[in-house]
Amino acid sequence: MALRPSSPASSLFSKKKQPLTTAASYLSAVHEADQHARARSIDRSSSPTPNSTPALSLSSSVTASSEDTVLHEDDESGLNYPWTPPTSEQVFSTVHTEFGHCANESYRCVSQHDYANPVKEKEIEEPPYYILITTYLSYLILICFGHVRDFFGKRFAKKYFTHVMSHKGYAALNSDFDSFYTRRLKARMDDCFSQPITGVAGRTVVTLDRYSTDNNWTQIYTGTKTRVLNISSYNYLGFAQARGGCADAVEESIKRFGISTCGSRLQGGTGELHGVAEALVAKFVGMEDALISSMGFATNSTFIPALVGKGCLVISDELNHASIRTGVRQSGAQVRMFKHNDMENLENLLRDVISQGQPRTHRPWRKILIIVEGLYSMEGTLVNLPRIIELKRKYKFYLFIDEAHSIGALGPHGRGVCDYFGINPRDVDVLMGTFTKSFGAAGGYIAGPKTLIDALRLRGQSGAYAESMPPPVLTQVMASMASIMGVAPPTSQSSKSGVMSTPSSTSTLRLGYIESEEHPCPAPASAIPSWLSLPPHLQDGSEGRTRLRRLAFNSRYLHAGLSKLGFITYGHPFSPIVPLLIFNPGKMSMFARMMRARSTPIVVVVVAYPATPLVTSRVRFCVSAAHTKEDIDVVLRACDEIGDVLDLKHSHGERWAVDEICKRSVELVEGVAAVQAA
Amino acid sequence: MENALPSSSVSSTLEPVLALLAYSLTKLETGFYQIPGSAVVARYVKSSHQNDPGRTILEVILIIFAIRTLLQSRTRSDRGGKHYIQFGDKEVDELVDEWTPEPLAQPLTEWEQKELASIPVIAGPNGPKPKLVSTGKTVTNLASYNFTGLAGNEHIKERAVDTLRKYGLGSCGPPGFYGTIDVHMDLEKDIAEFLGAEAAILYSQGYSTVSSVIPAFCKRGDIIVADRGVNYAIQKGIQLSRSTVRWFDHNDLRSLEDALQAVERDRKKRKGPLTRRFIITEGIFERDGEMVDLPKIIELKNKYKYRLILDESISFGTVGRTGRGLTELYNVPASQIDMLVGSVANGLCSSGGFCAGSTIVVEHQRINGTSFVFSASMPALLAVSGSEAITYLRNTPSTLSALQENIRALRAVLEKTEGIAILGHRASPIVHFSLRSVAPASLSPASAATPAGKESFDVDGEERILQEIVEDALANGVMLTRAKYLRKQEMFEPRPTIRIAMTSALTRKEVEKAAGVVKASIARVLSRRR
C-alpha cells in the first residue's frame, strides 16, 4: 500500500519545483489559456446567473481549479503536468489530470477492420506447466487453510461466524459453502478491490488511502489521498471530465431541468429531453429508433424478457455478461450456449436446434435470438460479426449485440463493432449499449426497428416501473455523443422540418426520425437542443475524431508493448481492454500492490475466479483516449519491472527491451499489421 | 515397459524408422525415470499389474472414462438423448429452409398505439406545475413522484453543480473497480443514520434494487412467504431466486399467519433441514396504496423466526414525521427489519435505490447483489442530491405534514365523488381509485355474464374509461396517469386504477381545485358512458 506523505507545500510551489525542461513553455501556455479564461469570465459575468463558487465554475484552466483537481503534492509522479507542452487549446479545454494533453499527431491510429489484411487476434498462449501446477497448488493450499480456519473459527471465534451458522432457530444467512470463496480467498486481497476514490475517474484518479489491521475485515481510512494513474476505469473516450464542453452543457441542463424526472416513462416521468436523446442515439448507432433506460444492467435485464418468451430459444455466448443472463432467466425462454466466439460450434448448434425443434415436443421454435457482446469485457475479444451475419442470412435467427464496451470505443467513427467491420447496422436486429463507458454518463440504450422499439416502450418492464433517466445524464449523453459525431451546420430549410420542430405531433414519446442517407454521418444541428452549445472543437467533431484515434493508438500500443515485453495477453489489438495473464492467485494481489507502490502509482483491476476460469487470473487494463503515450510508457515500464520480479513473462514471441518499445512505439503500432490511412 | 527391438525379418527400408522408434522409446524411458517420484509410479503400475491383464484393462478403461468426463464440453447437448432424431445434412438444410420464425416483436395494437401517443411529455423541468410539450400549457401535476417537492429545489441544484465540477458526471466503473466514490459512501452513511440502521448499500436504479436483493439472499430450497399484491420488481426477484414461494392474501396478516403455520407443519412432517425463511412485503403497496401493519408483521416474523424483506420504495421519504418511512410512523427500530429496501429515486427525488440492514447483510450484497456488482455506480451528483434531500427532510418536517394535509384534502374531495372507489391507506402518498361498479354491459358482454363478484372486472373496458378520465382531466389542466402494468405478466392481475401521486409542493387550495377538476372529469365521463 502506498502511503504517500502529503506535502504541505502549496501547488504554486510545486509547480516551480517542476524538474521538467519544458516547464517554462508549459507554464506560458497555461498562462495564455488563463488569460483567455479570464476574458471569457468577464463576458459571462454579465449574464444573470450568479455563482456561489466562482473558482469552481468560471474558468476551465488548470490553475484556477488547483484546489480540486490538483492535490497539494510534489509532481514527482509526473501525473499533474505533461512532459511535452500541450497546445494552448488543450490547456484551455481540459485538465491534464483528467484528460492528458498529447499534441503529437503521430500517436494516432484508426480503428477499422481491413478485410484484405485483417488484424488478427492473438492466439491464446498456454503458460508453462509449472505455472499451472503451482496455480492449482496455491488454490489447494488456500482452500485447505480456509477450511482449517473455518473449523477452529466456528468453535473459538463464534462472533465472526454468526452469518454462516444457524442460531436461535434461524438458518444461516449465507451458506458457508457459497461464501467460502469470498471469506477465505477474496478477503485476503480485499485491499485490491472496491478502492474508494474521489473526484473524476479520468486519466488519473485520487484514491482515499486506507489500511487494515485485521486482515481486511475492516478498512481504516487515514484521511490522506493519493493521486494515481488510472488505467482501470471504463473511460474509453475520456469523457469523464469535470471541465470542458460536456460538463458546461450538463451544468446548463441542471439549471434548466433540475435533477430528476420524477417517475417512470409511462407514469409522468417523460421529459422533452428523452425524445431528443433517443433520436440522437438512433442516429448515432444507425438504427431507426432507440429507447433509453436509466441503468445499463437493467437495459438487458428488463428488455430481453420483452423480446423472447416461452417457446423461444436464446443462443448465448458462454462468456456473456451477468445482465444478459438475468434477462434471459426472467424471460422463460430456453437457453443454449456456444463456445466463446467459436463460429463452427455456433453453426453446429444452430443446425441441431433448428432441425430438432423444441425439446420433447419437436415443435419448431417460435424464434431464435442470438445474444453476443461486441467486445467482451474480461477477454478483450471481438465478436466475429461478419461470420455471424453470414450465418444469420442462412439460419434466419435474430441477432442481439450487447455493445456495452464496444460502442464509442471501436470503429473509425466510434459507432461500435458494426462500424469497425464496416457492416450496415440495420443487418443486426437489436443493438444494445451503455453510456457508462465511452460517454462518461450512466444508463443504457436499446436500438432497433421502430416497431420493435415502440413495443419495448410499452411492453418492457422499464417503461412502466423503472425511474426514467435524469436530465443531467441525458445531457451528458447528448453532448458527448454529438461531439463524437460532430454537428453538421444547419444548411437549408430541410433541417427546419427536422427533429426539434414538430410540435404538432408531439405528445408522443419520441420525435420524428429523419431517414439518414449514409450511416456514419454528423448529427444535424436540429438533433440537439438549441440551448446545448458546444465549444467549436467539440461542435465540428475534430476533438471527437482525435479522441477516437488516440484511443486506437493507445490500445494497440499497450497490446503490442506488453507482448513484446513477453507477457501473455488476450484480446483483439484494437480492444481498449487489455487483459494480462497472471495465473497465480498470490501474484495477483502482489501485482496490484506493487503497481500502487511505485513512484508513479498506478491502479489496476485484477480479476480472478469466478469472473474468469480458475487458472487464468488476470489484470485488466482499460486504456483511455485520456492517456498520453507517456502514460502507456509508464505502465509498460512498471509491468516490465514487476513482471521480472513476479515471473510473469511466459510468451514465446520476440522480445524487445522496454526502452526500445517506448522509442519505436509508432513503428510497433503500425508494424503489427499494416494500418490503413484514415 | 517393453522394448520394441527391430527383428531381422523386417525389410531394410523400415529399419531406420524402427531404429528411431526404439531410440525415442529408450529416451522416453530414461526421461520418465528422471522425473522425481516416477519410480513410485512405475512400481505401482507393476505391482498392480501382477499378471492379471483383466485388472490392467479395467484400470485403463477407468482412466480413459475419467479423462473423457473431464474433457466433455460444458455446454449441455441432448444429442443421443431419448428424444434426439438423427438427420442427414440435406434434411437439416431442408428443415432450416422451411423454418420461418415469428417477428421479433408483434406490432402495437391500435389501443397500444393510442396509449403510447397519450403519454404526456413535459417541457422543461418537472415539478408541481410543469409545462407540456403538446399544448404548451401549464398543468397541475398529480402524476409524478415528487412527494416532498424536492424536484427543482434550488439548493440541491446548486450542490449538484458543485459536485459536477468536482467529480464530473459518470463514475465510469462498477463499485468494485474504482467506481466507489466518497459521495456514495456518504450517502450510504446518511441513509443508514437517517433510518437508524447499521449500514446501507446503494444501487444505481430503484427498480433493480429489490429484484437483486431477493436473489442475493434467497436461494433454491429456501422458503419465501410473500404478499399477493407485491410489485413487479419483487415478483421478478422471487422468480430469480428460485426459492419455494407461498403467497398470502393481500395485506391480510391472518392469511400470513396461516401460511407461516402451514410452512411450519410442512417442515415438521418432512423433518427437513432448517432452511432460510423470508417474509417479503411492501411498506406501502405500489399498486393500491395499502399500508402494512408493521408491528404486527414483526411480531409474526419473530414468532416464526423469519427474516423480513420490506420494500419501502413508496413509503420511504413520504410517511413518518420526517419521512423516515414506516419505521418512524410505527415507531419501530429499523434494526427489526432484516432487509429494508427503499428508493432514492422516489423518496429523495434523485435516482437509484438502497438496501439498509445489518453490516453483514449489506456487505454480503457487495459481492452477491448482481445489479450492484455488475453495474456502474450512480453518478456522483445524483448521490449528493440524495444526501442533500435527506438533510432537507431532517430539517423541514413541515413538508411531511403539508404532504399529509394535501392527501387529506384530496381524499376528502374524491370520497364525495360518485362512481369510484378509493383504495389504500389514508396516509399513503399515492392514492389509487378504481371504478366502483362493474363496467357497463354494452362494453363487455363476456364479463357482464359473470356475476359481479369481488374479483371480477373487465380490464380492457375499465382501462378505456379511466383513460378517458385522464384525458378529460388533462384537457382541464390536471395531469393524471393510469397505473401502468405489464398486463398478463403480473402474477395476479391488478384492477385498473388511476394513480394520483400527491406532493407537498402544491398548496391546499391548489390540491382542492385539482381534485375538483378530477371529480368533474369523472362525473362527465361516467355520465357520457351511461
Average pLDDT of A437-459?
A: 93
B162 and B274 in a single domain? The answer is yes
Which residue of chain A has the CA closest to B164? A242
Chain A touched by B524 (CB under 8 Å): no
Q: Assess whether pLDDT exceeds 70 at residue A29.
A: no
User: Does A499 have pLDDT greater than 80?
Assistant: no
Cα separation of A507 and A387, whole Å? Answer: 42
Residues A162 and A281 in one domain: no
By three-state DSSP, how is residue A27 classified? helix
If you average pLDDT over residues A644-652, what whole number do you get? 91
B144 contacts chain A (CB < 8 A): yes
Give the model's confidence band at A372: pLDDT under 50 very low, under 70 low, under 90 confident, else very high: very high
Residues B242, B382, single domain; the answer is yes
Provide the residue type at A571 as one letter: G
B101 in a domain, yes or no?
no
Nearest Cβ partner for B151 among A262, A369, A508 = A262
Residue A304 sits in the same domain as residue A410: yes
Residue A89 in 3-state DSSP? helix
**Domain containing residue A432: CATH number:** 3.40.640.10
Flag whether A453 is in a domain.
Answer: yes
Indicate if A151 and A271 belong to the same structural domain: no
**Model ipTM value:** 0.84
Query: Does B202 have pLDDT greater than 80?
Result: yes
Closest CB to B305: pick one of A170, A339, A472.
A170
Tell me, yes or no, if A476 comes closer than 8 A to chain B by beta carbon.
yes
Position B47 scores a pLDDT of: 74
C-alpha closest to that of A619 among A609, A605, A633, A632: A605
Q: Are residues A64 and A156 in the same domain?
A: no
Q: Round to whole Å and give the CA distance between A317 and A353.
A: 15
The answer as to whether B65 is a domain residue is no
Q: What is the average pLDDT across B399-409?
A: 94
CB A602 within 8 A of CB A228: yes
Q: Flag whether A224 is in a domain.
A: no
Q: Which helix (H) or strand (E) holds A248?
A: helix A245-257
Give mean pLDDT, residues B415-422: 90
Total domains in the fold of chain B: 3
Residues 603-642 of A with CB under 8 A from B: 603, 605
For residue B39, the model assigns a pLDDT of 79
**Cell 463456445, residue located:** A339
pLDDT digits (tens, 9 = 90+) for A501-533: 444 443 343 333 344 456 788 888 888 898 988
Domain match, A67 and A135 both: no
pLDDT at A53: 31
pLDDT tens digit sequence for A467-479: 999 999 999 999 9
In this predicted structure, the answer to whether residue A77 has a pLDDT above a threshold of 80 is: no
Q: Which of B365, B395, B425 is the last residue of a domain?
A: B395
Q: How many CB atoms lie within 10 A of CB A38?
A: 14
The 8-class DSSP code of residue A184 comes to I
Asked whether residue A658 is domain-assigned, the answer is no
Judge whether residue B437 has pLDDT over 50. Answer: yes
Residue B382 lies in a domain: yes
CATH number at residue B472: 3.90.1150.10
Specify the pLDDT at position A102. Answer: 82
B445: in domain = yes
Q: Are residues B359 and B468 both part of a single domain?
A: no
Q: What is the DSSP string of A316-357?
A: EETT--HHHHHHHHHHT-EEEEE-TT-HHHHHHHHHHHHHH-
Distance from CA of B519 to the nearest CA of A (A): 20
- pLDDT tier for residue A455 given thresholds of 50, 70 and 90: very high
CATH number at residue B242: 3.40.640.10
- pLDDT for the residue numbered A96: 82
B253-283 pLDDT, tens digit each: 999 999 999 999 998 888 878 889 999 999 9
Spatial separation of the C-alpha atoms in residues B375 and B386, rounded to whole Å: 19
Instruction: Look at B101 and A365 and tell me if their CB atoms are within 8 Å.
Output: yes
C-alpha A561 chain-centroid distance: 21
- Looking at the fold, whether B221 and B136 belong to one and the same domain comes out as no
Radius of gyration of chain B (CA): 33
| pLDDT greater than 50 at residue A66 | no
Q: Do B151 and A258 touch (CB under 8 A)?
A: yes
Task: Identify whether residues A167 and A310 lie together within a single domain.
Answer: no
Cβ–Cβ under 8 Å, residues B112 and B465: no
The answer to whether residues B235 and B352 belong to one domain is: yes
B173 assigned to some structural domain: yes
Chain A contact for B168 (CB, 8 A cutoff): yes
Domain annotation covers residue B183: yes
**Residue A173's pLDDT band (boundaries 50, 70, 90)?**
confident
How many distinct structural domains can be found in chain A?
3
Sign of torsion, CA B120 B122 B126 B127?
Answer: negative
Please state, in angstroms and rounded to a whole number, the distance separating the CA atoms of residues A554 and A531.
Answer: 34
Do residues B189 and B324 both lie within one domain? yes
Q: Please tell me the distance from the alpha carbon of residue B417 to that of residue A167, in angstroms, as a whole number.
A: 54
Residue at A558 is within a domain: no
Tell me the per-residue pLDDT of B218-232, one tens digit each, with 9 for 90 and over.
998 899 999 999 999
| Minimum-distance CB partner of B125 among A166, A257, A356 | A257
Instruction: Report d(CA A60, CA A35) in Å as an integer.
Output: 11
Neighbouring CB atoms inside 10 A of B452's CB total: 10
Q: Lowest-confidence range among A32-41, A476-485, A614-623, B324-333? A: A32-41
Residues of chain A with pLDDT > 70: what percent? 81
Least confident range of A348-352, A443-447, A495-499, B371-375: A495-499
User: B28 or B49, which is more confident?
Assistant: B28
Assess whether B381 and B271 both reside in one domain. Answer: yes
Q: Is the pLDDT score of A322 beyond 60?
A: yes
Domain match, A295 and A401 both: yes
Of A247, A269, A295, the CB nearest to B208: A295
Query: Could you tell me which residue, A68 or A481, shows the higher pLDDT?
Result: A481
Q: What is the pLDDT of residues B311-363, one digit of tens each?
A: 999 999 999 999 999 999 999 999 999 999 999 999 999 999 999 999 999 99
A268 with A417, same domain?
yes
Query: What pLDDT score does A125 carry?
Result: 83
- For A564-613, the DSSP string reads HHT--B-S-TT-SEEEEE--SHHHHHHHHHHHHTSSS-EE-EEE-TTTS-
Distance, first Cα to last Cα, chain A: 44
Nearest to B165 among A242, A437, A439 (CB): A242
Is pLDDT of A282 > 70? yes
A244: in domain = no
Q: Return d(Cα B480, Cα B499) in angstroms, integer.
A: 7
- What domain range is A137 assigned to? 131-183
In this predicted structure, which of A400-404, A468-472, B80-84, B316-320 has the lowest mean pLDDT? B80-84
Amino acid A564: pLDDT: 92
Distance CA(A383)–CA(A402), nearest Å, equals 10
Residue A634 resides in a domain = no
The answer to whether the Cα torsion of B19, B23, B26, B32 is positive or negative is negative
Which position has the higher pLDDT, A34 or A178?
Answer: A178
The helix (H) or strand (E) run that includes residue B339 is: strand B339-343
Whether residue A323 is predicted with pLDDT greater than 70 in this model: the reply is yes
Residue B529 — very low, low, confident or very high, per pLDDT cuts 50/70/90? confident
User: Which residues in chain A touch residue B84, judged by CB atoms under 8 angstroms apart?
Assistant: 356
Q: Count how many pairs of residues, chain A against chain B, have C-beta atoms within 8 Å.
A: 411
B361 close to B201: Cβ distance less than 8 angstroms: no
Under 8 Å between Cβ of B411 and B500? no
A384-398, A410-424, B9-23: segment of lowest average pLDDT: B9-23
Residues B408 and B385 in one domain: no
Residues A275, A335 within the same domain: yes
**Mean pLDDT of chain A, nearest integer:** 82
Find residues 116-155 of chain A whose CB sits inside 8 Å of chain B.
none
Cα separation, A93 vs A96, whole angstroms: 10
Cβ of residue B207 closer than 8 Å to a chain A Cβ: yes
Instruction: Indicate if the pLDDT at residue A613 is higher than 90.
Output: no
Domain with B502, as residue range(s), is 110-150+398-529
Residue B20 and residue B403: Cα distance in Å, rounded? 94
d(CA A410, CA A408): 6
Co-location of B361 and B280 in the same domain: yes
- Is A326 inside any structural domain? yes
Give tens-digit pLDDT for B26-47.
Answer: 888 888 888 777 778 777 777 7
What are the tens digits of pLDDT across the range B468-517?
Answer: 999 999 999 999 999 999 888 888 888 999 999 999 999 999 999 999 99
* Residues A449 and A384 grouped into a single domain: yes
Q: How far is A379 from chain B (nearest CA, A)?
A: 16
- Does residue B135 have a pLDDT over 70? yes
- Whether residues B176 and B317 fall in one domain: yes
Residues 268-307 of B with CB under 8 A from A: 274-277, 305, 307
C-beta atoms of B178 and A442 within 8 A: no
Nearest CA to CA, how far is A179 from chain B (Å)?
Answer: 9
User: Is B53 domain-assigned?
Assistant: yes
Q: Are residues B276 and B345 in the same domain?
A: yes
pLDDT (0 to 100) of residue B2: 46
Distance from CA of B17 to the nearest CA of A (A): 31
- Domain identity same for B53 and B167: no
Least trusted range by pLDDT, from A590-604, B359-373, B440-454: B440-454
Task: Name the minimum distance, in Å, from the CA of B517 to any CA of chain A.
Answer: 18
E-strand spans in A217-355? 220-230, 289-293, 313-317, 334-338
Residue of B nearest to A453 (CA): B105
In whole angstroms, what is the distance from residue B27 CA to residue B31 CA? 6
